[in-house]
Structure 1
Amino acid sequence: MMLGILGGMGPLAGAQFLLRLTLLTPAERDQDHIPAVLWSDPTVPDRTEARLRGGEDPLPALLHGLRGLEAAGCRAIAIPCNTAHGWFDQMQAATSLPILHIVDSAAEDLRRQSLEGATVGVMGTAATLAMGLYQERFGALGHAVITPEAGEMAELVTPGIALVKSNRVAEAYAPLAEAAARLIRRGAAAVVLGCTEIPLGIAAGPTLPFPVVDTIDALARASIRWSGRSPAELSSPAR
């Protein structure tokens, strides 16, 4: 069964998803891996601009990508972009293929780490947090959610994400790691890296001394389970 990857948001995150999908798949040879098509379209309009500042609607571009993946013979869709899930319902309504939800994948990764019901910190784009993508779904599962304060978003998280998007990945580590540490100090038992640029920045420096959920890895694991396999127990690069 072919997996469709609706990527390019950003392009490095989509490429990392395919890499982690490959590394986390138990395989002895090429033929044991999951057939996949990566649709990497970095021209999709900015999701945060659309949600928070009335920017161009990304939905037509997202649906165009879905149609391309359908035409390629894909049987399920993974979207390694958290903010794009603000359009999840419209995308799912437009296709008969299952779309694997990244927030549900993150919740499953918390269970994998024996963190059911734990208070968690969630880092993400301003739009992801404003839309409550994690707060709503996690709350239904008994997780209290702590998010960065406005100043932390402006000084640490948003600049860190921007550094990854501009390929200055190593520079992103310090602000993103500091934002994550502040969530732990405010009572979180773990931190969900709820923007797929964030794990890339965190992986560029020393391992964080507390549990994290890398949403790239979480979605890759969910994709492997969809294929009927069990993911390999490899460490996340964000740990």
Structure 2
Amino acid sequence: MSEKSLGVGKPDTQILGVLGGMGPLASAQFMLRLTLLTDAARDQDHIPAVLWSDPRVPDRTAARMASGEDPLPALLRGISGLEAAGAGAIAIPCNTAHGWFEGMQSATALPILHIVDAAEAELLRLGVTPGPIGLMGTAGTLAMRLYQERLEPRGWTCLVPTEEEMQRLVSPGIERVKANDVAAAYAPLAEAARALAARGARAVVLGCTEIPLGIAAGPALPFPVCDTIDGLARAAISWAKR
């Protein structure tokens, strides 16, 4: 049977393309949450999805902070693969990769769901209105001001960890998740989140898709946290319903 007869490569507005592998565990968690958050009673009620999980994409933070290899060619390769698989929209469960959002969106006619917009919708769903929020993420995400530039015009104020907190708590916590040592990530990441709350954040955005995995490995924090994996999954479900 030929690819043409199978419909391979034909755009299907019902198929979600997931550009993942950054990192692999976060992408797997996204697929899990996409499944669990979908209102479904049987297999056929779920969202058709294709996961392109390529951990070979060059490090996004290194590309921004230390003149590392440009990840855009690898990201575009993944988008081409998802187009060929018939995706009707693309979700990217990696915050830092959105630093190349414009380059990716200009290369495809498919809509790319923006994770910052999804995070804002998740904050509102949690009952958090515009005002001071904490923002945790990779050094690359914070340096690119991905959240600040998109959210501050809408009334949000982003409080970020200090350089010392990034080096001692946030970056090591993210590294532990990427090394599959999720339990060890909880203490440093939770400490950083508590520090932001103590400085006036009414909620903390977990703006790296490794961070929710670390935070979930220990006791719940006593303030709202915005899981960007869940936010993106809900955005994808909303797209599929439309």
TM-score bracket relative to the smaller structure: over 0.9
CA distance in 1, matches of 2:65, 2:48: 36
TM-score normalised to structure 2 length: 0.94
Give yes or no for the alignment of 1:37 onto 2:50.
yes
Residue 129 (structure 2) aligned to one of 116, 121, 127? 116
C-alpha deviation, 1:111, in angstroms: 1.1
Q: 1:141: Cα distance to partner?
A: 1.2
- Take 1:138 and 1:157, find their aligned partners in 2: how far apart are those partners? 22
Per the alignment, residue 79 of structure 1 pairs with: 92
Find the aligned partners of 2:237 and 2:131 in 1 and give their Cα distance. Answer: 25
Gaps of 5+ in 2: 1-13
Q: Distance in 1 between matches of 2:229 and 2:120?
A: 13
1:173 aligns with 2:181: no
Question: Post-superposition shift, 1:84?
Answer: 0.1
Cα distance in 1 for residues equivalent to 2:129 and 2:102: 26
Q: Within 1, Cα distance between the matches of 2:167 and 2:59?
A: 18
Match of 2:147 in 1: 134
Distance 2:131 2:225 in 1: 12
Measure how far apart 1:176 and its partner are.
0.1
The 4+ residue runs of structure 1 with deviation greater than 4 A are: none
- Name the % identity: 70
**What is aligned with 2:63?**
50
Q: Deviations over 1:48-70 (max 9, x none)?
A: 00011000000000000000000
> Once the 2 structures are TM-superposed, how far is the Cα of residue 156 of structure 1 from its aligned partner?
0.1
Kindly state the Cα deviation for residue 118 of structure 1 after the two structures are TM-superposed: 2.5
Q: Which has the larger radius of gyration?
A: 2
2:75 is aligned with 1:62: yes
**Taking structure 1 as the reference length, what is the TM-score of the superposition?**
0.95
1:145 pairs with 2:136: no
Counterpart among 105, 110, 114 of residue 97 in structure 1: 110
Within-5 A mapping of 1:3-22 = 3-22=16-35
Matched, 1:23 2:36: yes
Quote the Cα distance in structure 1 between the aligned partners of 2:108 and 2:51.
17
Q: Which runs of 5+ in 1 are unaligned?
A: 230-239
* Counterpart residue number, 1:157: 170
Corresponding residue SS for 2:88: strand
Instruction: Name the residue aligned to 2:8.
Output: none
Corresponding position of 2:234: 221
* Root-mean-square deviation (Å): 0.6
Q: Return the alpha-carbon distance in structure 1 between the equivalents of residues 153 and 44 of structure 2.
A: 39
User: Structure 2 matches for 1:197-216, cutoff 5 A?
Assistant: 197-216=210-229
SS in 2 for 1:74: coil
**Deviation at residue 213 of structure 1 after TM alignment:** 0.3
Give 2:200's match in structure 1, choosing from 187, 195, 199: 187
- How many matched pairs? 229
